[in-house]
Amino acid sequence: MLGINSSLVPSIERVRKKQISLQCTDLMALKEESQELNVMEESKQYDKHCDFMTEEKSFTTPKTETRYLEFQMRVHTGEKPYTCKLCGNSFTLKVNLNLHMRTHAGEKPFMCAHCGKSFKQKKYLNAHVTIHTGEKPYTCKQCGKSYKRNENLKIHMRIHTGEKPYTCKLCGKSFTQKENLRIHTGIHTGEKPFTCSQCGRSFKQKKYLNGHMKIHTGEKPFVCNQCKKSFRYKAHLDLHMRIHSGENCFMCHQCGKNFSHRGNFENHMRVHTGEKPFTCHNCEKSFTNKGNLKIHMRVHTGEKPYKCLQCDMSFTYHTNLKRHLQTHSGKEIQTSCHTQENGNFSNHLRIDSEER
């Protein structure tokens, strides 16, 4: 065991505390550039180059302490002397540059023993393995909810703290997640990058496109176990189940009609009251529900979201596209009122009556 001057012990302890603080500070800096470090891996690399281990204590040399102070100054100054020659990204530590280079080389040295999938960093492998094990080691102390990754727990904690660090520069609205801000920005830009290959309709988010595709495929994967009726979306099945359970059933006292969803009940009540709270700012025409106003707005905007893939003609309404498709197929497609499904039929009649 090496002999240690007792007068150096306070200094060593101070350096150790600085090292712990350093790891946290550097992690925050790297988060800003969306290239988080594998903390354990970085710590091992740092110890490997800077420390020598004796029993359970770590001691530093004067040269190591100088390197540490230089590195600490970079945290404050923002200096990133290690630059990638391929893309220009810069890093505070050389080990971070080495990790980054795997992106260009396509190197993925960490492989999952369960499914064979490979990852660039060990922390990504560790997060992935929880999919197989079901482990959720990060638990919220306030509500008990658990997560597979520490990053997800940190995002969740913003619900309790009210923190919303991502703010829209155009309207000032704030969000807990960067992805939510990106989606929100589409409202201002009008960007809809996800386009249906069948009808040309575009969507702001991929999940909306995925849901829309079920219209074309006819897929209805959610089946009621009591009456075997199928639905495209789980939310619709959940609403349907209230018919069997009687849960949250809303009854119209004027005509006796029942509804399983409050929104449908409120829309229905406007039939009796005559209320039309959704007004077009262009022509002052009013509608009983927001969906009908949205469809009406196409008259003013000229939007024709339903496109024929065979001749590139576009239509304001889906029924018009279906009618047009007859000219290509030669088949007669029923589009009259009495052939519509109940839900579409009700909406169709309401729009028709309101447009008059």
pLDDT digits (tens, 9 = 90+) for 55-109: 333 445 566 677 777 777 887 888 888 899 888 888 888 888 888 888 888 888 8
Angle at Cα 347 formed by Cα 341 and Cα 352, nearest 5°?
120
Query: Which residue, chain included where needed, has tokens 């790891």?
Result: 23
Q: Compute the average pLDDT of residues 228-248.
A: 81
Percent of the chain with pLDDT over 70: 74
Write down the mean pLDDT value for the chain: 76
Contact 298, 291 (CB under 8 A): no
C-alpha closest to that of 307 among 177, 201, 193: 201
Residue 133 scores a pLDDT above 60: yes
pLDDT digits (tens, 9 = 90+) for 289-317: 888 898 899 889 988 888 888 888 888 88
Q: Compute the average pLDDT of residues 339-351.
A: 42
Both structure tokens of 342: 């109940």
Angle at Cα 175 formed by Cα 210 and Cα 137, nearest 5°?
80
Residue 268 phi/psi, 5° resolution?
-65, -40
